Chains A and B, each alone.
Chain A
Amino acid sequence: AQKITQTQPGMFVQEKEAVTLDCTYDTSDQSYGLFWYKQPSSGEMIFLIYQGSYDEQNATEGRYSLNFQKARKSANLVISASQLGDSAMYFCAMKRRSGAGSYQLTFGKGTKLSVIP
């Protein structure tokens, strides 16, 4: 069974500094995908970045990058130059096959990031 583990319930970072949010996963699939979502206090889930298991390069999207270490089964999110608006819950999720050509997401428990002025 697929499982996502986020070991940091809460993190603090100084404004303008970089921060790494940890995510490890467990799967027996050869082909899979990993997502990071941001959830502000308002409640919506915002898609940030995606990494496919066969992607040779780490994904980047603006200030977000994904440190993907396949052998260690980790997909850590790096946020550079933190801003006050980055304060939110961050969820790691893995795409898993649920049927012929169909996929579903399994979510981790999330990390609450607080950016300090």
Chain B
Amino acid sequence: EADIYQTPRYLVIGTGKKITLECSQTMGHDKMYWYQQDPGMELHLIHYSYGVNSTEKGDLSSESTVSRIRTEHFPLTLESARPSHTSQYLCASSDTTGIIDTQYFGPGTRLTVL
């Protein structure tokens, strides 16, 4: 079981604000991911990273950006939040040294933009 943390768990913010959602894992996993999930819907991959200084965009277009300066840390930033960004954001990590490459998830951040 991976230890993966996300802060804040809940965030209510006004339009136009800059926000950073934090994600950290203590398992030394090389791969990390960000998913966006609207209530009652499936998860959509928005960003992923295969290691330090490696970031890629996922299937769902997102105005957010990510960085991977340290193995354990994968923050997501929105420069100017809008109501359309209201959603749950889930961070995950996986260990590619295993055959299965199971993704383990953090508790999520529920973002509401007013």
Question: CB within 8 Å of B: which residues of A?
Answer: 33, 35, 37, 42-47, 50, 52, 89, 91, 95, 101-105, 107-110, 112
Contact = CB atoms under 8 A, between A and B. Distances in A.
B10 to A, nearest CB: 10
**Interface SS, A side:** strand
Contacts of B107: 42-44
Given A43-B88, A91-B43, A50 B110 contact: no
A43 B42 contact: no
Nearest to B96: A101
A90 to B, nearest CB: 12
B12 interface: no
A115 to B, nearest CB: 18
A50 B43 contact: no
A109 B42 contact: yes
B43 A33 contact: no
B95 to A, nearest CB: 12
